[in-house]
Amino acid sequence: MTTITKPARSVDWTKDRIAALATPDVKQLRANAVRLNDPEITQRCDDVLGERPRGRGAAKKAVPGAAPKPRKKRVKAAEAATPETGGAA
């Protein structure tokens, strides 16, 4: 009679080790854990992701002494079509 056992993991994914990963890597690890039916690692990934701030990613740091880029003025479509602004009538 043969016994079926879960294959040994080559990496022990502790919460500290997961926390050291970048957010996209944690999300990928979580997806792999779900696919491989490993609820322990899935929960650890959820814990780490829950502790991270949600945002648009790393903001660009301003370079000291550099002037910000000027913003272009948006023109509404109705204003752009008037002869005063150079639009087609």
pLDDT tens per residue, range 8-56:
665 789 999 999 999 999 999 999 999 999 999 999 999 999 999 887 6
In 3D space, the residue among 30, 1, 4, 3 whose CA is nearest the CA of residue 15 turns out to be: 30
User: How many other CB atoms are there within 10 angstroms of residue 42's CB atom?
Assistant: 18
User: How many other CB atoms are there within 10 angstroms of residue 30's CB atom?
Assistant: 20
pLDDT tens-digit series, residues 64-77: 667 777 777 777 77
pTM: 0.53
Q: Residue 49 has what pLDDT?
A: 96
Q: pLDDT grade, residue 80 (50/70/90)?
A: low
Cα separation of 46 and 65, whole Å? 41
Q: Residue 74 has what pLDDT?
A: 79
Q: Quick one: tokens of 85? A: 């602004």
Cα separation of 34 and 20, whole Å? 20
